Structure 1
Amino acid sequence: MNFFIAAFFLSVLFSSTAAYDPLDPNGNITIKWDIMSWTPDGYVAVVTMNNFQMFRHVMSPGWTLGWTWAKKEVIWTMVGAQTTEQGDCSKFKGNIPHCCKKTPTVVDLLPGVPYNQQFSNCCKGGVLAAWGQDPTASVSAFQVSVGQAGTTNKTVKLPKNFTLLGPGPGYTCGPAKIVPSTNFLTPDRRRKTQALSNDMECDMYILSVSGAETPELLRLLLVLLQRNNHFLPFLCLPESKLLSVVGVNTPRKDNTPLLQCTHHMCPVRVHWHVKVNYKDYWRAKVAITNFNYRLNYTQWTLVVQHPNLNNVTQVFSFDYKPLVPYGSINDTGMFYGMKFYNDLLMEAGQFGNVQSEVLLQKDKDTFTFKEGWAFPRKVYFNGEECMLPPPESYPFLPNSAPQSRAFLTTFIICVAFFFLAMM
């Protein structure tokens, strides 16, 4: 079949300027809009999303992509995704479009849909893994057939006002611009066809509050934050009463969280425990506990900033990857679950926790346990910076105890922990 293959490439870079994150300075999400072939009244395009963020991923219920048509375009068919509303298609008789809205909203399909509705890298429920954690799972794509759009490069107008929403940050996008052409393999995989390309940049916005300066009332309000920065109520019951609730682990249509009551009123706790102090090494235990009875955390990530992460010797039951955002300072690392083992943090209850231990070698020049040096400086859970309340006091050595024995005794007996509130 001979047809003219043209493609527009919309590269939507979701980077942070107002909410710039120095731990992931080059993180972005890129959207490609490639016109692959022409139809009698429009074209067929492949839309691809790539999450190039190192430790931020789009978790369930997944991404929502929207845009505004430049003219009176309609969507005839979609493969690998669907719109949330059809819109007013009353003027069409016989063959009814999939969507007639001026501003369509698209969501991913769930896993397990029939084969004829699938497209490559589709049907993940909108979940995008962080590129630093799993590059193969950080891409999502679907195919769309657009009508009433024009049939040449000169008559087609590109969509505008792209928006990308998820359970965490939101994104606002600027206008498209021309970028270098992209190449595609033909079905026989023997030659490439070039495409015309356009580029669009977007800024990420994140609500961020320092835990050390947050009043208790505001801290309580922060745990009510849900997707799109809206406040929703949650239910809080003592653990003894939770056991008598029918369907405690059943998701609700209104997505109302059901949290186990704790004094910190947070849905997640990260526990950093200095466990053993050896002569040349020291060992810390890291545990993450989920207090939400209606939410699993898929492909979770934990980013820790600590000066001794430059000498990580072994991580026992998490995967670990160092992050070097400043080029030379190796004090930041990402912990994440091993695939098919502990990459899913289950809802609250018996299995609602994951834990590991990390062995670090002592640096003779800078190593010290004084004034909380053993504890992280910053912690991110699933890309959200956690609040770190300062402890009232740090462990110290008694003056009368022998120096070597005091070190060993202090760090075996003392369970040093702090609570981190995920925002």
Structure 2
Amino acid sequence: MRFVISGFFFIMMFSYAAAYDPLDPNGNITIKWDIMSWTPDGYVAVVTMNNFQMYRHIISPGWSLGWTWAKKEVIWSMVGAQATEQGDCSKFKGNVPHCCKRTPTVVDLLPGVPYNQQFSNCCKGGVVSSWGQDPTSSVSAFQVSVGLAGTSNKTVKLPKNFTLLGPGPGYTCGPAKVVPSTTFLTPDRRRKTQALMTWNVTCTYSQFLARKNPSCCVSFSSFYNETITPCPTCACGCQNKKNCVQSDSKLLSMVGINTPRKDNSPLLQCTRHMCPIRVHWHVKLNYKDYWRVKIAVTNFNYRMNYTLWTLVAQHPNLNNVTQVFSFDYKPLVPYESINDTGMFYGMKFYNDLLMEAGPFGNVQSEVLLQKDKNTFTFKQGWAFPRKVYFNGDECMLPPPDTYPYLPNSAHDNLFSFSTWISLVLLLLTAIW
């Protein structure tokens, strides 16, 4: 019995740890139900999904939300979303519900639907931005009219077993909990009104639950060493090794080869790491008071465009970022007094779309960082990141003993060759 109890607590602790992200300790998706009015057999509610994750967003084909009704409820109608299946509504004559399933699944509507089907913060194809990247786009909402549900706070029963897919697995949702009713401003913003009843559901993400292998890897190089440290072999697993294609394959010229599959199965370029995404961190230049890094992200999946992509890096010198070229950048401070994490993402309408594998399947930027005199060094791989995330999933880094090493003849304040050339030119200009 003692071993059973110990095993139970071990599983609970492991499950919690798997869903806990140390770089975003408070990140979650909160689903809020606000009952706005009662109907003869139920209620009308506004369901709002808030993505409070700093750098993990929901990409196309978008979210799908499911639950189990507590009684025999039906969905009479919806605005801003739709159920994927109607279910068996044969017992209804005349006015037929939108959905009669006891376990409905709801999805967002696509952009461009008629105005009378739209609702505030709806109709984005289920795409929801991360809170850190764009708070105004981190919300999705719809309206639902529920029947056979009870018509008061005492008779309404909360739905159970919430599930959230976004667009794949990985999210675990807790039970619905009644909370203080939400307060709203009226459309003219002159007075406040209150929901009749409100409950919340909190969903957290676990990369362990989403997939058994990483979805990205990191490679390193530097100006002070000719060695390039590649991604580890089979960093993302080699289960797709038999179905990968060479970059010069005639198969890639076939019509429709880039069309995503319903099961989101990838079509990867053949590589030793077999990852859809590779992040390359190159220590490019060294100045007296600054140093420069080049970051490149390459897509090796021929069936996936990454919209609203994010790249998160943890490095102690990110507290002194001076300038970021061709990416947007936002420092992340998961804990007070520790500023060693930053989020990179594409500039809108410029490089916020990471194209599928091929000649355009990469984005890159350079970062200028001011040296911290007390900690800066090129020794022992200090110049390389401690953690890297792409789209919220942690990437596999090479083993530390394979990092490009600093030559024995070099020292920490060495200048790059290009820096010496610049100084010589400046000196010659002054003499002339």
Per the TM superposition, whether the score is higher than 0.5 is yes
Q: CA contact under 8 A between 1:29 and 1:53: conserved in structure 2?
A: yes
Give the one of 390, 394, 404 matched to 2:404.
394
CA distance in 2, matches of 1:307, 1:404: 17
Give the 3 Å change call, closer, same or farther, for CA 259–32 of structure 1 in structure 2.
same
Please give the per-residue CA displacement for 1:118-157, whole angstroms capped at 9, x wherever unaligned: 1110111111111000001100001111111122222222
**What one-letter code is carried by the residue in structure 2 that aligns with 1:236?**
C
Q: CA contact under 8 A between 2:75 and 2:98: conserved in structure 1?
A: yes
Q: Which blocks of at least 5 consecutive residues in structure 2 are unaligned?
A: 1-14, 219-230, 421-432
Aligned to 1:278: 287
Q: CA contact under 8 A between 1:42 and 1:149: conserved in structure 2?
A: yes
CA distance in 2, matches of 1:393, 1:159: 52
2:158 pairs with 1:158: yes
**What one-letter code is carried by the residue in structure 2 that aligns with 1:88?**
D
Please give the per-residue CA displacement for 1:84-124, whole angstroms capped at 9, x wherever unaligned: 11100011111111100001000111112122211110111
2:28 pairs with 1:28: yes
Give the 3 Å change call, closer, same or farther, for CA 292–150 of structure 1 in structure 2.
same
Aligned to 1:205: 206
**What one-letter code is carried by the residue in structure 2 that aligns with 1:60?**
S
Give the 3 Å change call, closer, same or farther, for CA 270–217 of structure 1 in structure 2.
closer
CA distance in 2, matches of 1:351, 1:18: 35
Aligned to 2:119: 119
Aligned to 1:354: 363
SS of residue paired to 1:310: helix
Deviation at 1:278, TM superposition (A): 1.1
- How many residue pairs align between the two structures? 386
CA distance in 2, matches of 1:16, 1:47: 27
Aligned to 1:258: 267
Q: CA contact under 8 A between 1:306 and 1:375: conserved in structure 2?
A: yes
Q: CA contact under 8 A between 1:238 and 1:261: conserved in structure 2?
A: yes
SS of residue paired to 1:143: strand
CA distance in 2, matches of 1:132, 1:406: 37
Q: CA contact under 8 A between 1:313 and 1:359: conserved in structure 2?
A: yes
CA distance in 1, matches of 2:16, 2:352: 27
* 244-253 vs 133-142, which moves further: 244-253
Give the one of 304, 311, 333 matched to 1:324.
333
CA distance in 2, matches of 1:172, 1:21: 14
Aligned to 1:184: 184
**What one-letter code is carried by the residue in structure 1 that aligns with 2:198?**
S
Matches within 5 A, 1:301-316: 301-316=310-325
2:346 pairs with 1:343: no
Matches within 5 A, 1:62-101: 62-101=62-101
Deviation at 1:252, TM superposition (A): 3.7
* 293-302 vs 238-247, which moves further: 238-247
Q: CA contact under 8 A between 2:321 and 2:367: conserved in structure 1?
A: yes
CA distance in 2, matches of 1:381, 1:404: 30
Deviation at 1:246, TM superposition (A): 3.3
CA distance in 2, matches of 1:216, 1:394: 17
More helix by share: 2
Aligned to 1:39: 39
Deviation at 1:243, TM superposition (A): 4.1
SS of residue paired to 1:240: coil
**What one-letter code is carried by the residue in structure 1 that aligns with 2:294?**
K
Please give the per-residue CA displacement for 1:4-62, whole angstroms capped at 9, x wherever unaligned: xxxxxxxxxxx965421110011111111011112222111110000001111111121
Q: CA contact under 8 A between 1:234 and 1:256: conserved in structure 2?
A: no
Aligned to 1:48: 48
- TM-score between the two structures when normalised by the length of structure 2: 0.83
Deviation at 1:166, TM superposition (A): 1.7
Aligned to 1:419: none
2:392 pairs with 1:383: yes
Please give the per-residue CA displacement for 1:139-194, whole angstroms capped at 9, x wherever unaligned: 00011111111222222222122111223553333333332221012244321122
Deviation at 1:300, TM superposition (A): 0.7
Aligned to 1:220: 237
- TM-score between the two structures when normalised by the length of structure 1: 0.84
Q: CA contact under 8 A between 1:17 and 1:204: conserved in structure 2?
A: no
CA distance in 2, matches of 1:411, 1:393: 24
**What one-letter code is carried by the residue in structure 1 that aligns with 2:75?**
I
CA distance in 2, matches of 1:218, 1:378: 15
Deviation at 1:65, TM superposition (A): 0.5
Give the 3 Å change call, closer, same or farther, for CA 20–405 of structure 1 in structure 2.
closer
Give the 3 Å change call, closer, same or farther, for CA 234–39 of structure 1 in structure 2.
farther
Deviation at 1:384, TM superposition (A): 0.3
**What one-letter code is carried by the residue in structure 1 that aligns with 2:314?**
Q
Aligned to 2:428: none
Residue identity (%) = 78
Q: Which blocks of at least 5 consecutive residues in structure 1 are unaligned?
A: 1-14, 225-232, 413-423
Please give the per-residue CA displacement for 1:323-379, whole angstroms capped at 9, x wherever unaligned: 111211111111111122111111112221111110001111111001111111100
Deviation at 1:201, TM superposition (A): 4.1
CA distance in 1, matches of 2:21, 2:243: 32
CA distance in 2, matches of 1:284, 1:218: 23
**What one-letter code is carried by the residue in structure 2 that aligns with 1:298?**
T
Q: CA contact under 8 A between 1:274 and 1:411: conserved in structure 2?
A: no
Give the 3 Å change call, closer, same or farther, for CA 257–404 of structure 1 in structure 2.
closer
SS of residue paired to 2:268: strand
